[in-house]
Amino acid sequence: MIRKYQFGDQKQIAELFYTTVQTVNAKDYSQEQLAAWTKGNTDPTIWQQRLAKKYSLVAVEAGRIIGFGEIDESGYLGHLFVSADHLRREVATALCDRLEKFGGDHIITHASLTARPFFEQRGYVVIKKQQVWREGVGLTNFVMEKIKDVCE
């Protein structure tokens, strides 16, 4: 089931984010990079502040959050994460379908090395490869965009 984010979800989201980065993204990033990426991003209060301001959705199974995503009114898709146990089960696809509808005809995201193939399969194209810095550690990601065809 996919529903809108609500206050009280932030603890599970913080845990899901941390666990997903440390497991799913471990194939593409070093332990130093993973630690830098997650540092400061495990506080549920931070997630509440981020997600409450945007169009944020959660995927729930058996009472547990198994995925989440958010997009703002400008079409910037900031986060899309699914638990390692639920990859390749259409959870990210279902979340992204709904987020893109809200985001309009031009969507931008900063995709990790791990997420890039998922977004490419959805019609996103790489605008540029970049290094972002967290805690003095460089992480490669890609600025990607999707411009929806008005005939879709």
Encode pLDDT of 93-144 as tens digits. 999 999 999 998 999 999 999 999 999 999 999 999 999 999 999 999 999 9
Q: Output phi, psi for 114, to 5 deg.
A: -70, -40
pTM reported for the whole predicted model: 0.93
Ordered domains of the chain (ranges, CATH): 2-105 (3.40.630.30)
151: pLDDT strictly greater than 60:
no
What pLDDT band is residue 150 in, cutting at 50, 70 and 90? low
Q: Is 67 helix (H, G, I), strand (E, B) or coil?
A: strand
41: pLDDT strictly greater than 90:
no
148: pLDDT strictly greater than 90:
no
Beta-carbon-side half-sphere exposure of residue 25 (alpha carbons within 13 Å): 28
Sheet holding 125-134, edge to edge: 2-4, 55-61, 64-71, 76-82, 106-112, 137-147, 125-134
The 10 Å CB-count burial string (b at 16+, else e) for 41-50 is eeeeeebbeb
19: pLDDT strictly greater than 60:
yes
Contacts of 89 (CB under 8 A, 6+ apart): none
For residues 28-52, average pLDDT: 94
Name the E strands within 9-63. 55-61
